């Protein structure tokens, strides 16, 4: 994903949520300024023969089906607390994707153990960036933004932790994406999170179109997805 492809969708997200682009850019630059080093995502070993399990933090992650699919994948890229859930079942994530809103202690622990964490900067998490990133092993921090990339801070596309994990795997050339722990209708989420999940769904629909693929997580849902804000590829 190049930024000029992502930018129109990013602008639609800003309009929909009333976010401030300048705030995203300021925190992006703050994240960059805190890092003495950063992780090269090419070292994840994702490529044209790799199946990547993209783990969301929904309740279905603990089902036998989803746990087995995660175990079978070559690489597991997990969003936020999905890392902890998988670990409780003996499955190690190969990369964590987070905006630091839930489990900062896991972020620090993983980087100390040499597990990369894609730390995302946006306008609402300046304090979390300030408080958590200095305690990480910077060699295992992959800094990301939804604004224009700058310096070590990358943008592979995506908005929520989960769909950013999918876009990162795609950006690195994954042969196949499999989705575990994704629950678009999770009744436990509040209305703002539900709106974000709607965007995650749209973005995965865009991604499967770009890949000329069909993600089973979207089966039975495609006809109801609002697509006016995403530039769909012809199928």
What are the helix (H) ranges across the chain? 3-17, 21-34, 64-72, 82-88, 104-112, 126-132, 161-171, 191-211
Instruction: In whole angstroms, give the CA distance from residue 155 to residue 152.
Output: 10
Burial of residue 66, with CB atoms counted within 10 A of its CB: 0-12 exposed, 13-18 middle, 19 or more buried: buried
Burial class (CB in 10 A: 0-12, 13-18, 19+), 224: exposed
Please state whether the predicted TM-score (pTM) of the whole model is above 0.85.
yes
Torsion (CA) 82, 87, 88, 90 in degrees, nearest 10? 130
pLDDT value of residue 216: 96
pLDDT tens profile 22-54: 999 999 999 999 999 999 999 999 999 999 999
Residue 4 has pLDDT above 60, yes or no: yes
What the chain holds in terms of domains, given with CATH numbers, is 3-224 (3.90.1480)
Mean pLDDT of the chain: 96
**Residue among 88, 107, 85 at smallest CA distance from 96:** 107
pLDDT value at position 233?
65
Assign residue 169 a region (left: φ > 0; alpha: ψ between -120 and 50; beta: otherwise).
Answer: alpha
DSSP class of residue 2 equals: -
Axis crossing angle, helix 191-211 with helix 161-171, rounded to the nearest 10 = 20
- Interval 156-188: pLDDT, tens: 999 999 999 999 999 999 999 999 999 998 888
Token pair in block for residue 176? 């196949």
């Amino acid at each position: 994903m190049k930024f000029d492809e992502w930018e129109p969708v990013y602008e639609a997200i800003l309009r929909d949520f009333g976010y401030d682009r300048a705030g995203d850019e300021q925190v992006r630059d703050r994240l960059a300024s805190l890092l003495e080093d950063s992780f090269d995502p090419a070292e994840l070993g994702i490529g044209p023969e790799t199946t990547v399990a993209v783990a969301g933090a929904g309740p279905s992650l603990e089902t036998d089906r989803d746990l087995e699919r995660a175990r079978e994948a070559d690489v597991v890229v997990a969003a936020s607390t999905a890392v902890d859930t998988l670990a409780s079942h003996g499955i190690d994530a190969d990369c964590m994707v987070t905006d630091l809103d839930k489990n900062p202690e896991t972020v620090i622990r993983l980087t100390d153990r040499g597990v990369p964490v894609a730390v995302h900067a946006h306008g609402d998490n300046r304090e979390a960036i300030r408080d958590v990133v200095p305690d990480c092993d910077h060699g295992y921090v992959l800094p990301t933004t939804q604004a224009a990339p700058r310096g070590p801070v990358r943008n592979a596309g995506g908005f929520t932790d989960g769909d950013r994990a999918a876009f990162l795997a795609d950006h690195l050339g994954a042969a196949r994406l499999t989705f575990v722990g994704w629950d678009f209708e999770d009744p436990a989420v509040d209305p703002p999170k539900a709106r974000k999940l709607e965007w995650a769904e749209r973005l995965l629909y865009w991604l499967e179109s770009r890949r000329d693929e069909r993600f089973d997580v979207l089966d039975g849902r495609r006809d109801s997805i609002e697509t006016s804000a995403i530039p769909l590829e012809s199928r």
